[in-house]
Structure 1
Amino acid sequence: MSSTIKVAIATPLDPGLRHLLTEVDPSVDLLVDDALLPPQRFPGDHEGDPAFRRTRKQQAVFDSLLSEADIFYGIPDTRPAALAPAVRANPGLRWVQTMAAGGGAQVKAADLTAEELERVLFTTSAGVHGRPLAEFAILGVLAGAKDLPRLQSQQAARHWSDRWAMKQVHEQTVLVVGLGGIGKETARLAKALGATVLGTKRQPGPVDHVDEVHPLSALPELVGRADAIVFTLPGTTATDGLYGAELIAATKPGAVIVNVGRGTVINEPSLIDGLQSGHLASAFLDVVAVEPLPTESPLWAMPQVVIAPHTAALSPHEDRRIAELFATNLRRLIDGKELLNVVDTQHFY
């Protein structure tokens, strides 16, 4: 790179946060034209207003701006289809920061060549969404233990039933499938409630607040021990449909399922069968395999299911936290240090 580091703002970023990037070093030069970016509708809205359209001339100016940059702050318009042409039009591009924690899936979807994946470094926003998603995960664990679906049903029917003994999280075992940033925070919160915490990790080793760490291959045994199972896994070829009929059959009867990773990790027809049969008690889903969830999906009408429209990760501070993460990595880049959250372009996470 030249003495000036040109950073193209490829997705919306509040002007009030841009100083976080420029203050990293005097060499940083932002390439940005707000007329070329869709307005944000809410904090963390990296796609921007879907009604926004560039004129042909505006698109040409936007493409020209991207072609001059050393770094992209965001995948252009957060669309994988826009990433490949932008990479190919800019032989000097060295780094792309994705807005998503699971940005590896977007990079994979761009269908870049091996040479392009070697030339350009991709990093994700992993860690930014850990606490919000962990709180949703714990919501599911607590709601499952306290029979939230039954409470809602009885309230809707104005029915005052006999009393019953609710489950206690401090007496339960919570399995966290995937001990990345989200999983570690989920484990911390579950442990704070007194639960026994099990976890899986690609390379098992001690993890704070986790009583037992196992490889993913141990899932058939682990699901049989867990009162609640929290999935935080990224969407990869290896995780696609991971939690299917066989693992559901092996799951402890009455278990609660929570997914804050990627919807493709769970085989939805098998999940539906497990819920309808009563083998699984309830499910709390921030993500589903196809988003938006099709209106004909049985999940919509199931009283033991709570669906969040992939919104649990959002917080009013998301944009600032991603900008701060980017600034940290930008400093590391200038100092010749290894960047954080680099995408593994073999497994794409």
Structure 2
Amino acid sequence: MMNTMTTETTVAIAVPLESEFVEHIRAVDPSVTVLYQPELLPPERFPADHTGDPDFQRSPEQDERYWAMLNKAQVLYGFPNESPAGLARIARENPHLQWIQAMAAGAGGTVKVSGLDTDTLQKFKVTTSAGVHALPLAEFAALGILNGFKRSGELAKDQAAKVWPELRTPTRLVNGSSLVVTGLGEIGLETARIARALGMRVSGTKRTIEAIDGIVEVAGNDGLPGLLASADAVVNTLPGTPYTEKLFNRAIFAAMKPGTVFVNVGRGTVVDEAALLEALDNGQISYACLDVFAVEPLPQDSLLWNHPQVMVSPHTSALSVAENRLISERFCSNLRTFLDGGELTHLVDPVYFY
């Protein structure tokens, strides 16, 4: 991507961000002007709270200032108001816009929901924070695997009831077991690294089938049932796209051997939740650790809430206190590339939203 602004590039901070990280952005190059008005941004309730306090409201005068600031910039740090509607508005109003850095790893979903047509989306780039969340997601996946193998749910239930069972139940060894990771991208590879450190044999899927160091076997989605036949645990890291929707259906769960541990840190739409519940009830899945769901927040009437073999996490496994620092570092690196006329990394595909 070529930066057509030869003398000055203006970056506007559209979402809450600590001033120290704003200064890091300013330090990338003397030609960069950073517009940052923290009084126009909702205060963070916790580290890396990109939407900020929902009770925050700008006055009409502040809202006018906020949009005027964004419309001066060629580059935005964050979607306006961190929403699809904000993205749609800035795309209509800012003729200078060249690039937006999104806070989410799966920002393609927001781009799709914005309703912008392909021609409009071709006018500027959107980059995601994919990879920034790889380590916390991989650590959460390891937690899910260990929970399933070590029966932590049953232990918690017995503790709550003050039960000391007469018959002690053995747990399963993670070391020497087999893991399948669907989606050997940055998150999947980080998950594989941690799993191998625990002594697991790792196979997985990738759109481009190629040998990967440390991975026993790589297959496409068509080869997934074959991989699952010998898996003790499965971790999904795939994003939500038309090609992954309900990939984990009845047939895929049936291809797993009884007692498989299932972890989902990708997107909820990749899993047919009715089929998952059946697999839990018939023993194909012994334990499911779920951070994402087809509908979020998870509906109150979902059977997943109270299932004894399910851990429900409210789509928080990617969050860490280091997130703002990591995203800003990623942005600074990409900003240097942008200024030098290079190709930005982690671009959202404007057609497939991946």
TM-score normalized with structure 1 length:
0.97
Alignment of 1:71-110 (within 5 A): 71-110=75-114
Q: Deviations over 1:252-303 (max 9, x none)?
A: 1111110111111111111112112222101001111111111111111112
Q: Secondary structure at the match of 1:323?
A: helix
Measured in 2, the distance between the counterparts of 1:140 and 1:17 equals 33
Which consecutive unaligned segments of at least 5 residues does structure 1 have? none
Measured in 2, the distance between the counterparts of 1:190 and 1:342 equals 28
- Is residue 287 of structure 2 the alignment partner of residue 282 of structure 1? yes
Are the counterparts in 2 of residues 107 and 348 from structure 1 also a CA contact under 8 Å? Answer: yes
- Is residue 172 of structure 2 the alignment partner of residue 191 of structure 1? no
Determine the structure 2 residue equivalent to 1:19.
23
Task: Give, as a single letter, the amino acid of the residue that structure 2 aligns with 1:254.
Answer: G
Which of 32, 39, 42 aligns to 2:43? It is 39
Task: Give, as a single letter, the amino acid of the residue that structure 1 aligns with 2:9.
Answer: I
Q: Deviations over 1:10-57 (max 9, x none)?
A: 111111211110000001111121121100011110010011112222
Alignment of 1:247-262 (within 5 A): 247-262=252-267
Task: Give, as a single letter, the amino acid of the residue that structure 1 aligns with 2:92.
Answer: R
Are the counterparts in 1 of residues 182 and 235 from structure 2 also a CA contact under 8 Å? Answer: yes
Measured in 1, the distance between the counterparts of 2:289 and 2:61 equals 45
- Is residue 330 of structure 2 the alignment partner of residue 300 of structure 1? no
Are the counterparts in 1 of residues 118 and 351 from structure 2 also a CA contact under 8 Å? Answer: no
Are the counterparts in 2 of residues 40 and 46 from structure 1 also a CA contact under 8 Å? Answer: yes
Measured in 2, the distance between the counterparts of 1:104 and 1:208 equals 29
Q: Secondary structure at the match of 1:225?
A: coil
- Is residue 330 of structure 2 the alignment partner of residue 325 of structure 1? yes
Measured in 1, the distance between the counterparts of 2:264 and 2:338 equals 34
Q: Deviations over 1:169-208 (max 9, x none)?
A: 1121100000111100000011111111011000011223
Tell me how far 1:156 sits from its aligned partner: 2.7
Are the counterparts in 2 of residues 191 and 210 from structure 1 also a CA contact under 8 Å? Answer: no
Q: Deviations over 1:78-97 (max 9, x none)?
A: 10121011111011100010
Which of 169, 174, 180 aligns to 2:179? It is 174
Measured in 2, the distance between the counterparts of 1:77 and 1:222 equals 42
Which of 43, 49, 52 aligns to 2:53? It is 49
Task: Give, as a single letter, the amino acid of the residue that structure 1 aligns with 2:340.
Answer: D
Determine the structure 2 residue equivalent to 1:62.
66
Measured in 2, the distance between the counterparts of 1:127 and 1:208 equals 19
Are the counterparts in 2 of residues 67 and 89 from structure 1 also a CA contact under 8 Å? Answer: yes
Measured in 2, the distance between the counterparts of 1:256 and 1:152 equals 18
Determine the structure 2 residue equivalent to 1:265.
270
Measured in 1, the distance between the counterparts of 2:274 and 2:227 equals 22
Q: Deviations over 1:217-261 (max 9, x none)?
A: 111222222111100011111111111112112221111110111
> Identical aligned pairs, as a percentage?
48
Measured in 2, the distance between the counterparts of 1:328 and 1:175 equals 32
Are the counterparts in 1 of residues 16 and 44 from structure 2 also a CA contact under 8 Å? Answer: yes
Measured on the aligned residues, the alpha-carbon RMSD in Å equals 1.2
Q: Secondary structure at the match of 1:329?
A: helix
Tell me how far 1:328 sits from its aligned partner: 0.1
Are the counterparts in 2 of residues 135 and 186 from structure 1 also a CA contact under 8 Å? Answer: yes
- Is residue 164 of structure 2 the alignment partner of residue 159 of structure 1? yes
Q: Secondary structure at the match of 1:122?
A: strand
Alignment of 1:191-230 (within 5 A): 191-230=196-235
TM-score normalized with structure 2 length:
0.96
Which of 217, 240, 247 aligns to 1:242? It is 247
Of 285-294 and 174-183, deviating more is 285-294
Which of 6, 11, 14 aligns to 2:10? It is 6
Are the counterparts in 2 of residues 188 and 208 from structure 1 also a CA contact under 8 Å? Answer: no
Task: Give, as a single letter, the amino acid of the residue that structure 2 aligns with 1:66.
Answer: L
Which of 136, 146, 150 aligns to 2:150? It is 146
Are the counterparts in 1 of residues 174 and 198 from structure 2 also a CA contact under 8 Å? Answer: yes
How many residues are matched?
349
Q: Secondary structure at the match of 2:87?
A: helix
Which consecutive unaligned segments of at least 5 residues does structure 2 have? none
Over 3 Å counting, the alpha-carbon distance change for 1:77 and 1:208 in structure 2 is farther
Measured in 2, the distance between the counterparts of 1:347 and 1:115 equals 14
